[in-house]
Structures are given as C-alpha cells and as structure tokens.
Amino acid sequence: MAADKGHRAARSLSRPADSHDKTVNAGDASAAPGAYLLGDVRNDSNGAAPSEPKEDTMELRHLRYFIAIAEEHSFTRASERLWVAQPGLSTQIRRLEKELEVKLFERHTRGVRLTAAGELLLERARSVLAAAELAGATGSDLRAGVAGAIRLGLSSEARWSQAAQLLERFSSKRPGVELTLLEGHGGTLWSDLRDGRLDAVIACSSFRSGDLRSLELRAEPWVVLVGADHRLAGYAPLDSDELQGEQIAVTGHRDAAGYDRAVAGLLDQLGVTAALMPGAPGPARDAAVAAGEALVLTTAPIALAPGVLQRPLDADSVLTFELMWRDETPSSALSAFIEEAGGCLEPIAPPRRELALVA
C-alpha cells in the first residue's frame, strides 16, 4: 500500500488502513500516553541526544503494520494477516525507518528480527495503540455508564446503614466511574444538589422537595448513643420511657433542622418529655456523650467514639431515607448508580410505624 501523498503539518497518528479521520500529535505530551515518546526512538540505539521532532506523517496504521511484522517475524505472513500487499507494506516500513532515522528490522533468510530500536518502538507502539483504542471507546463507555463521574452527598446527622454496601458493589461493577463522596448536614447537601455541585444525595426524607427525583431506601431504626458510665449504659434495647427527663443532644444547625425536627417529633410521638440541647458537632458531641452529659438519637452510626455505647430504641418508629437527584435526565453513570441502589434494598417486614417528618 502506498503512503499518503498529502503530508500533514505535524506528526499524526490516525486509525488504520483506509481511515484517516482521527489524528494525535505524537510530538505533544498531551497526546495519548506513550505517543510523544515515539519521536525519541531514532536515537535510542546509538545513545545520541534526541533530536528535535520534525514534521512527518506517522499514523496508527503504520504502527499496526510494524507490530504485525514484529509479531509474525515475516513481511509475508504480516501481509497475509493485514490483507495488505507485501510491496506496499515494505514501502511503509522503509518510510517509517527513514522518518525515525533508525533501522527497525534485520533481514535474514527465514524472515526478520527486531533491532534494538525496533524492540523499543514495539513497546511504545503497543502503548499508543492501546491508548488510542481506549480513547475511541470514550463515547460508548459514557453511554453504557462504565465511565464518568458521580458526586454523592451523604448526610452525617443520621445515616443509611447500607450506604457502604451500595458504594462497594457499584465501584466493583463499574471501576471506571469516578465516585466522589461529600459528607455534611442534609440541608447543605440539598442546596449543593439543587445548585448542581452534587449529582445525588442520600439523606432522610425530610430533605426531599418537589423539584427533586427520589428513590425510597430502606427505613432505619433509631438507636441511642449513651456514655459508658451513664445510668442508661448497656447493650439491650432501651425502653423509650427511660428517656424521660434526659438531655438529648441535637445539632442546632439550620442545615440540619430536618434531623432536629425528626428527633423532636420522635420524642413527641413516644410521649417522652426530654430536654433538647444544641450540641457541638462531630467529636465534641461524642465527647459530651462519653462524659455522660447528654444522649444522642441517631441511626446506623458508622463508628463509636471511646466511651460511647449504642443501644437500640425499643420503639416501632423508624426514619426513612431516600436517594435524591435533580428532576432531569441523569447521566448514564448516575442511572446505573440509581439502579444499583434499587437492587440492594431489603424488604421492610413486618411493617413499622413511620415517623412523620416536616420539611
């Protein structure tokens, strides 16, 4: 096959044989991984300093020709494998050697073998073709949801117990999707979701709004966090009457108001009179619990601070969680995540009385 007569202004790598529609600047470090290394092959065999890249017409098909000959150790067998006339194949390799200013093959009676320069080019050419194939699959990968990015918010006041399982399953099935997690107050995450800074949020249902789409997740039972030296310390289910007169820590933060209202609503529903006290966030709240200064009502805590115990609340009330996203067509990656979330749900049995939440 004859070489192209119309030389491009810069070195390019295009699709094989009769397709010249996609090119990559092989002298540019921003090109496909390994592509910019090809320009150094011409001097690697003699140790001389690499020369400045020059204008040429290297294309992906030339690299495919070269790889086929290297793997077959024969121009004849490579010609049959590629369905390319042998004279044209020989011409292309001679031009490639001239362009790189190195000899790629040693000819002998049984065929050909690679020179030192040819061995180096073979390694780099395979990297270039692999990168080109990966780049060419970008569109199909995005459409199939096996590539892309998802920014997911997880509420920190109360948690959904199956979040870790969902993330592990999704990541193992779709490792090409970049999954970024952000934890925070449900109200903060809700604002970020509506403003487009997040793609989805897992939080209790009190943060749902009419302009968001949602998938109802498994409801979580309430638990009580209590200090190890508190009078209510233990591991058995805690009767709700034991909460009478206790100090219950809430966030007191405007972006966690939905959670605070859920706690107040739960106590009211249980007929419990307790003192709600705004508590400091995170470790400071845990320190107050460990010191016996307050109790905390929450769901599915992921880790307990030293000196803090967890007791199930002996009551029928549960807190419902939802996966929420904007009311628009989700990306393929997000659609796959939503489908995975629906697939890992467990049935709620027997039915339990759900705590009514006010947005």
337 with 211, same domain: the answer is yes
The pLDDT confidence band at residue 22, using thresholds 50, 70 and 90, is very low
Report the amino acid identity of residue 223: V
Range of the domain at 215: 143-219+320-343
Residue pair 41/98 in contact by the 8 Å Cβ criterion:
no
Please compute the mean of the pLDDT values over residues 195-222 and round it to a whole number.
Answer: 90
71 with 125, same domain: the answer is yes
pLDDT at 340: 92
Cα 82 to Cα 25: distance, rounded to the nearest angstrom: 25
pLDDT tens per residue across span 237-268:
999 999 999 999 999 899 998 899 999 999 99
- The mean predicted confidence, pLDDT, of the chain is 79
Domain end, chosen from 136, 153, 180, is at 136
| Residue 11 within a domain | no
How many helices (H) and strands (E) would you count in the chain?
11, 15
Q: Which residue has the higher pLDDT, 284 or 348?
A: 284
314 with 237, same domain: the answer is yes
* CA atoms within a 13 Å half-sphere pointing along the CA-CB vector of 147: 10
Reduced to 3 states (helix: H, G, I; strand: E, B; else coil), residue 276 is: strand
168 with 110, same domain: the answer is no
pLDDT at 359: 39
66 with 148, same domain: the answer is no
pLDDT at 25: 41
Reduced to 3 states (helix: H, G, I; strand: E, B; else coil), residue 314 is: strand
pLDDT at 237: 92
42 with 131, same domain: the answer is yes
Please compute the mean of the pLDDT values over residues 109-128 and round it to a whole number.
Answer: 89
| Residue 70 within a domain | yes
| Residue 58 within a domain | yes
Please compute the mean of the pLDDT values over residues 166-174 and round it to a whole number.
Answer: 91
pLDDT tens per residue across span 40-86:
554 444 455 555 555 557 888 888 889 989 988 999 898 888 888 88
| Residue 196 within a domain | yes
Query: 227 pLDDT exceeds 70?
Result: yes
DSSP string, 199-231: SEEEEEGGG--TTEEEEE---EE-EEEEETTST
The pLDDT confidence band at residue 154, using thresholds 50, 70 and 90, is very high
Domain end, chosen from 113, 136, 159, is at 136
Total number of domains in the chain: 3
Query: 212 pLDDT exceeds 70?
Result: yes
pLDDT tens per residue across span 280-335:
777 888 898 999 999 999 998 888 889 999 999 987 889 999 999 987 788 888 98
Cα 356 to Cα 206: distance, rounded to the nearest angstrom: 9
Please compute the mean of the pLDDT values over residues 345-352 and round it to a whole number.
Answer: 48
Longest dimension (CA), the chain: 98
Query: 274 pLDDT exceeds 50?
Result: yes
In CATH, what number is assigned to the domain containing residue 239?
3.40.190.10
The pLDDT confidence band at residue 12, using thresholds 50, 70 and 90, is very low
242 with 104, same domain: the answer is no
Residue pair 279/252 in contact by the 8 Å Cβ criterion:
yes
Domain end, chosen from 86, 115, 136, is at 136
Q: Which residue has the higher pLDDT, 252 or 39?
A: 252
Residue 98 makes CB contacts below 8 A (sequence gap 6+) with: none
What percent of the chain is predicted at pLDDT more than 70?
Answer: 77
| Residue 4 within a domain | no
Residue pair 70/157 in contact by the 8 Å Cβ criterion:
no
First CA to last CA distance, the chain: 71
229 with 292, same domain: the answer is yes
pLDDT at 141: 59
| Residue 279 within a domain | yes
pLDDT tens per residue across span 74-104:
998 988 888 888 888 899 889 998 999 999 9
Residue pair 157/259 in contact by the 8 Å Cβ criterion:
yes
In CATH, what number is assigned to the domain containing residue 119?
1.10.10.10
327 with 209, same domain: the answer is yes
Cα 20 to Cα 29: distance, rounded to the nearest angstrom: 21
160 with 277, same domain: the answer is no
| Residue 23 within a domain | no
pLDDT at 13: 36
| Residue 44 within a domain | yes
76 with 207, same domain: the answer is no
Cα 101 to Cα 97: distance, rounded to the nearest angstrom: 6
41 with 115, same domain: the answer is yes
